[in-house]
């Protein structure tokens, strides 16, 4: 017998230990005396480092372009934020396209039912990991539902509202924006989907519908694509999006 095995572990377990199987949140960490166990301290620091890395990560433009091109034209655009530092300090510049956007968009698809924007947001890591699986499920579902499909637009240093300008320039009836969400300490790879019917610059958040936490540990891309199609069908039926458009998809699945 090892000499150390005669002693009890200094870490005292938490009564909620069993609940950790149902969440990635930091619960039931246990304690060592009055302190958090060293293992949990190190795990926290690693998660914090991953979140910081996600904020400063960059979109894998080559991967996204080459993979998504099979669904149609892919345009590479940039917001008015010149680099990551300006993007973080000036949110307004991330919401508008730069002066080269019109040239990049020339010759693209116009007057389609749906166009797409994929932008880094606050975690390009999330977009690099989740955008391709999401689009792989979403595009065939939309085509099967009878929607006409517009361009896929990759916007570097972009925020959600940049989709409204892209949608307006392409005269799309609706725009779907896939964006990296603000990374949490257990979800540096979380992507969000924002849908706007009748996109035009200057709209506020109440005009959009959101599906968040798209990632393997949250809402998987396949389910997120199904919810997006449902929301688009309802948006076109009611001719609106935002707070007046309710997401009853899960209720219908249970009925």
pLDDT beyond 70 at 1? no
Q: Provide the pLDDT confidence category of residue 4 given band limits of 50, 70 and 90.
A: low
CATH code of 159's domain:
3.40.50.11240
20 lies in a domain? no
16 lies in a domain? no
Report pLDDT digits (tens) over 170-224: 999 999 999 999 877 667 888 999 999 999 999 999 999 999 999 998 999 999 9
163 lies in a domain? yes
- The overall average pLDDT reported for the chain is 88
Rounded Cα gap, residues 232 and 236, in angstroms: 6
30 lies in a domain? no
47 lies in a domain? no
35 lies in a domain? no
pLDDT beyond 70 at 2? no
Report pLDDT digits (tens) over 83-95: 999 999 999 999 9
Looking at the 3D structure of the chain, how many domains does it have? 1
227 lies in a domain? yes
Q: Provide the pLDDT confidence category of residue 228 given band limits of 50, 70 and 90.
A: very high
Domain range holding 157? Answer: 61-254
pLDDT beyond 60 at 74? yes
The closest alpha carbon to 221, from 111, 134, 113, belongs to 134
The closest alpha carbon to 112, from 136, 143, 82, belongs to 143
What is the model's pTM? 0.85
Question: Which regions of the chain does DSSP assign to beta strands (E)?
Answer: 74-78, 114-119, 149-156, 174-180, 191-197, 208-214
65 lies in a domain? yes
Q: What is the pLDDT of residue 28?
A: 73
Report pLDDT digits (tens) over 37-64: 777 777 777 777 777 766 677 899 999 9
């Amino acid at each position: 017998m090892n000499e150390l095995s005669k002693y009890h572990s200094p870490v005292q377990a938490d009564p909620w230990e069993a609940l950790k199987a149902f969440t990635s949140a930091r619960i039931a960490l246990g304690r060592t005396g009055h302190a958090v166990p060293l293992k949990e301290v190190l795990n926290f620091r690693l998660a914090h480092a991953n979140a910081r890395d996600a904020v400063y990560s960059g979109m894998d433009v080559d991967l996204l372009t080459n993979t998504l091109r099979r669904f149609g034209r892919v345009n590479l655009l940039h917001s008015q934020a010149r680099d990551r530092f300006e993007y973080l300090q000036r949110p307004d510049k991330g919401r508008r396209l730069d002066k080269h956007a019109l040239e990049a968009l020339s010759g693209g698809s116009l007057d389609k039912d749906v166009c797409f924007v994929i932008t880094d947001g606050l975690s390009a890591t999330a977009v690099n990991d989740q955008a391709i699986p999401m689009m792989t499920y979403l595009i065939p579902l939309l085509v099967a539902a009878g929607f006409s499909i517009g361009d896929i637009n990759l916007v570097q240093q972009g925020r959600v509202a940049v989709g409204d300008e892209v949608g307006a320039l392409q005269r799309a009836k609706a725009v779907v924006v896939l964006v990296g969400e603000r990374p949490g300490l257990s979800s540096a790879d979380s992507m969000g989907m924002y849908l706007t019917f009748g996109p035009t610059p200057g709209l506020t958040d109440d005009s959009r519908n959101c599906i968040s936490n798209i990632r393997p540990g949250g809402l998987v891309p396949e389910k997120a694509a199904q919810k997006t199609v449902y929301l688009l069908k309802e948006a076109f039926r009611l001719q609106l999006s935002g707070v007046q458009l309710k997401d009853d998809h899960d209720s219908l699945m249970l009925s």
